[in-house]
Amino acid sequence: MFKGFREFIMRGNVLDLAVAVIIGAAFGKIVTSLVNDILMPPLGLALKNVDFSNLFVDLSGGHHATLAEAKAAGDATIAYGIFLNNVIDFVIVAFAIYFLIRGANKMKHAPAPADPTTKECPFCHTTIPIAATRCPNCTSML
Mean per-residue pLDDT over the chain, rounded: 84
Q: Do 95 and 123 have their domain in common? A: no
Q: Pick 115 or 44 by higher pLDDT.
A: 115
Phi, psi angle pair for 78, to nearest 5°: -115, 110
Q: Do 61 and 120 have their domain in common? A: no
User: E-assigned strands of 1-142?
Assistant: 57-58, 77-78, 118-120, 127-129
Q: Do 119 and 104 have their domain in common? A: no
**Beta-carbon contacts of residue 93 (< 8 Å; ≥ 6 apart):** 27, 28, 31
Q: How many domains does the chain have?
A: 2
Q: Do 62 and 96 have their domain in common? A: yes
Q: Is the confidence at residue 132, as pLDDT, over 80?
A: yes
pTM: 0.54
Q: Do 53 and 118 have their domain in common? A: no
Q: Determine the structural domain holding residue 69 and report its residue range.
A: 2-108
